[in-house]
Amino acid sequence: MQYVSYYRVSTSKQGINGYGMGAQKEAVQRYLSSLDAELIGSFEEVETGSNNDRPQLALAIQLAKAKKAILVIAKLDRISRNAAFLMQLQDSGVEFVCCDMPSADRFTVGILALVAERERELISQRTKAGLAVAKARGVILGNPNAAD
């Protein structure tokens, strides 16, 4: 069977140091090594999970469809934290598998997509609350080197 891998991290720091990307690649490699699998393409992206306009993901899906390959990702939230986006992916005709739950069916993925979306909302709320507390304490927010 043929596979196309997709890896995503949210920040350039994660992308530059490779920690997040490296862990995903290790999970995918471990999963594929347990199968009779051929990795025919690999795509990486540094982008927030809330942004659904991701060129590398689009290319990964395009290759998987063209070759009738399976899109493989380390974890569901690496594709998106948007439930509607994940449901559209399920309906797109491309088969995908998450290494951390390879036997998940459409129902399970649907539920977990909603959980991932909620987590994205909670991350945003926590970040805003933390920034508000820091600002109230007099911390100067933003890039100190930014042009005025």
Which residues are annotated as catalytic? 10
**Kind of pairing between the strands at 70-73 and 38-46:** unpaired
CA-nearest of 30, 97, 92, 28 to 66 is: 92
* Distance (Å, whole) CA 6 – CA 3: 10
Rounded to a whole number of angstroms, the CA Rg of the chain reads 17
